[in-house]
Amino acid sequence: MGQYRIVVSGRVQGVGFRYFTLSKALEFDIKGWVRNREDGTVEASASGTESQLSDFIASLRRGTRFSLVENLEITPEEDRGEYAGFRIK
């Protein structure tokens, strides 16, 4: 199991990116959360197996047809087993 903090930059607010992230988290059985940040980026904390996280991150990189993902900042976090599901903050 692993856990990452992911900050997505580009045109990712006002285009349904958080709901897209939620749907991908459910698809790949990722636990954690996602939220908009004041600087226009979207931040997520994601926990799962390395395979699940790899697929999840790849889907975030592609984004939706309405978004334009310019960069993903991915930082490992300590997995404390604190997430029961995935939610939008």
User: What is the set of active-site residues?
Assistant: 18, 36
Tell how far CA 22 is from the center of its chain. Answer: 8
Tokens representing residue 20 in the block: 């897209």
3-class SS of residue 77: coil
Q: Side chain identity at 7, as an amino acid letter?
A: V
Q: For residues 33 and 84, what is the distance between their CA atoms, to the nearest angstrom? A: 10
